[in-house]
Amino acid sequence: MLSAVLLVVGQTLPAPDSTHFSANIRFVSAAGNATSSTFSLGDTYDKFLGPWAFGQEFQMIYGTDGTSTLANFYLFNLSAKYALNKRTQVMGYGGWQRNTPAGLNQRFEEGIGVTYVAMDKPRDKINVEGGPTLVQESRPDGDRHFTAARLAADYNHTFREKTTFEQKFEYMPDLGVFANYQFNSHTALAVPVSGIVGVALSYDVRYTNQPPPGFKKADRFLTAGLQLTR
């Protein structure tokens, strides 16, 4: 989530002037600050125009037991990347998150960075990314504004066409208070069923080392459902 609910880190560019789109509807089992069974909706959209790559990501997880909200997570990201060569890209992105069961009313991020393709084989790809990010948070214990570093890595393995495994990590320490950091992990497996329809499984961990008082540090999301890809 991330995806998952992580921001998609740099990818090796496909053929110029192409479009990639995927959407999913999944059943979710959440544990941590929210324990529930509910549904997740999401999509990713990527447009490639020569050396430019533009991306959009959305995810929603919502659940209620009829009297109270058990899961209430939203994520929306926009990004733009420019390829300097086959292995290096520069990028900028903006993102918004909401996770009220974890004490996050809203969080905005605006960052820049560099992506490097560390491995680019037919079946295996590894990308690493780093750069500064401005963060604005609204929480029950007050608003916070700080500058963070963002370090991310993305591993993709292709078993065969449209059968893939992906592992992402993201680490974001506050450059002013290093004890204030966030760590995100996203693990996903996708298997095609027929045409553009497939089955996707994912497991996400979102860890905040300094949550608001009374809230747990980690949220975990296990999802399974249908995915449409073209």
Q: Would you state the structure tokens that stand for residue 73, as one six-digit string?
A: 């997570």
The pLDDT score that the predictor gives to residue 32 is 75
Question: Which of 25-34, 56-65, 121-130 is predicted with the least confidence, judged by mean pLDDT?
Answer: 25-34
Is 39's pLDDT higher than 90? Answer: no
The pLDDT score that the predictor gives to residue 68 is 73
pLDDT class of 10 with cuts at 50, 70, 90: very low
Pair 89, 82: CB distance under 8 Å: yes
Pair 20, 56: CB distance under 8 Å: no
Is the pLDDT higher at 46 or at 31? Answer: 46
Q: What is the pLDDT of residues 129-175, one digit of tens each?
A: 999 999 999 999 999 999 999 999 999 999 998 899 999 999 999 99
The pLDDT score that the predictor gives to residue 61 is 86
The sign of the torsion formed by the CA atoms of 30, 59, 157, 85 equals negative
The conformation of residue 178, written as its DSSP 8-state character, comes to: T
In sequence order, the 6+-apart residues with CB closer than 8 A to the CB of 96 are 74, 75, 76, 77, 106, 107, 108, 109
Is 8's pLDDT higher than 70? Answer: no
Pair 213, 200: CB distance under 8 Å: no
Q: Would you state the structure tokens that stand for residue 132, as one six-digit string?
A: 């500064």
The pLDDT score that the predictor gives to residue 66 is 61
Pair 212, 14: CB distance under 8 Å: no
Residue 197's alpha-carbon distances to 61, 210, 227, in angstroms, are 21, 40, 6
Rounded Cα distance between 121 and 157, Å, is 9
Is the pLDDT higher at 58 or at 11? Answer: 58
Domains of the chain, first to last: 18-229 (2.40.160.40)
Q: Would you state the structure tokens that stand for residue 62, as one six-digit string?
A: 């919502």
Q: Residue 190: what are its φ and ψ, rounded to 5°?
A: -125, 135
The conformation of residue 179, written as its DSSP 8-state character, comes to: T
The pLDDT score that the predictor gives to residue 52 is 95
Percent of the chain with pLDDT over 90: 68
Q: What is the pLDDT of residues 179-209, one digit of tens each?
A: 999 999 999 999 999 888 999 999 999 999 9
Rounded Cα distance between 20 and 134, Å, is 28
Is 38's pLDDT higher than 90? Answer: no
Tokens 């969080």 belong to residue: 107
In sequence order, the 6+-apart residues with CB closer than 8 A to the CB of 35 are 70
Q: What is the pLDDT of residues 97-127, one digit of tens each?
A: 999 989 999 999 999 999 999 999 999 999 9
Rounded Cα distance between 29 and 56, Å, is 25
